[in-house]
Amino acid sequence: MTDPSPSDKCRHEIKALFHRWEEESDLESNEILECVSNAIDEYYEEDTIEFESDILFEDGLELGSPEEGD
């Protein structure tokens, strides 16, 4: 069996969150979907937050670092 892809993992986490909210809240499914839609809009309209990545690629460059010779 292969490891789940990042998109599979993301999808699983989102489904688990939906399931929990359906079971533990008084919200109907259409209300949960409206909350999700609003949350997505708010998240992607927010200012970008800067952070330092600790991801190193095979060639030794860090994510977001200028390439040699630039």
Residue 26 has pLDDT above 70, yes or no: yes
What is the model's pLDDT at position 70? 47
Residues 30-53 have a mean pLDDT of 85
The residue type found at 70 is D
The residue with tokens 């809009």 is 41
Average pLDDT, the chain: 82
Beta bridge partners of 56: 62
70 vs 44, more confident:
44
Q: Is the pTM of this model over 0.75?
A: no
What is the model's pLDDT at position 15? 95
35 vs 1, more confident:
35
> What's CA 50's distance to the chain center, in Å?
16
Neighbouring residues of 29: CB distance < 8 A, sequence distance ≥ 6:
22
Q: Within the chain, how many helices (H) and strands (E) appear? A: 2, 0
